[in-house]
Homo-oligomer: A and B are copies of this chain.
Amino acid sequence: MQFDQYVARVNAKLDHYLTTQGSLTEAMRYSVLAGGKRFRPILTYCVTDMFGVDLERADSSSCAVEFIHAYSLIHDDLPAMDDDDIRHNQPACHKYFDEAQAILAGDGLQALAFEVLVNDSLLDSQIKIELLSMLTHAAFEMAEGQAIDLSIVDQTVEIKLLESMHRKKTGALLSCAVDLGAIVAQSGEQDRTLLKTFSQAIGLAYQIQDDVLDIEVPVGVLGKQQHSDSEKNKPTYPSIIGLQGSKEAYQALYLQAKDCLCDLSVDAQVLQKLIEKLEARVF
């Protein structure tokens, strides 16, 4: 199965990169290699593959987005933030180590994400700058999204604000994962525009679906605490537009995503399959 191969590939590369971080290596490996769906690297590899470009050229991008994602989870789980003790079915980084180590492991992972891209010897400088421009911006938006998320705890918010928060907090990096693949593949402008619409749609759909799964799926399957958002009085899609409305919203977004794939200059079957897999996911 193609996706499994991408996951195996990125896991091997992540493992390879995480060997020379001195006193931070252990905490970084603990969090990054604990698992996770590797959804962002899968997106980057899918897009690169679709355009017939050697996956080797996408390894640094795939790892970079995953490092940014991993750092954000470590920091989000901190007591001062979402205060979650379990991540990927094991104690969160700040529980297994301590808060200071978790803060620093996250800080180090953010630096490492950019470092692996900068030092990729297979890509020329111009492409690397394009990749870094996307990734630095997405990383910033993610932090800003998390700040908005924390600011609306216990608040009644409009669906527009919730959407804007999700587009930054989760959507920006998911969208970036697709963008990086398109840049590595040096795809044309029209394809990039279509892929942007695609990635923004699945980025938001994924989050709304997360809100739904958080209510519907047993805790052992999620790998983290269930009802964690609603119990913290964070506004969620179901809390604003209901469970059924939320399901319809994310299904419509997945449909929109599928639609734009049809107009790409290349066969996008792999991304069509990915959407089907996402729609069917239970965690």
Contacts and interface: CB of A to CB of B under 8 A. Distances in A.
Contact of A75 (B71, B103, B133, B146): B103
**Main DSSP-derived SS at the A contact region:** helix
**Interface size for chain A: under 10, 10 to 19, 20 to 34, or 35 or more residues?**
35 or more
Given A80-B100, A143-B24, A147-B23, A118 B107 contact: no
Contact of A110 (B110, B128, B137, B144): B110
A101 B143 CA distance: 10
Contacts of A100: 78, 80-81, 147, 150
Q: Copy number of this protein in the oligomer?
A: 2
A37 B132 CA distance: 30
A109 to B, nearest CB: 9
A55 to B, nearest CB: 22
A204 B81 CA distance: 35
Nearest to A27: B147
Given A103-B103, A104-B150, A108-B143, 8 more contacts: A24-B143, A80-B99, A100-B150, A101-B150, A104-B143, A108-B140, A110-B111, A129-B129
Interface of A: 21-24, 71, 75, 78, 80-81, 98-101, 103-104, 106-108, 110-112, 114-115, 118-119, 124-126, 128-129, 132-133, 136-137, 139-140, 143-144, 146-148, 150-151
17 contacts: A21-B140, A22-B147, A22-B148, A23-B151, A24-B147, A75-B103, A75-B107, A80-B98, A104-B143, A104-B150, A108-B143, A108-B144, A110-B111, A118-B133, A118-B136, A128-B129, A132-B132
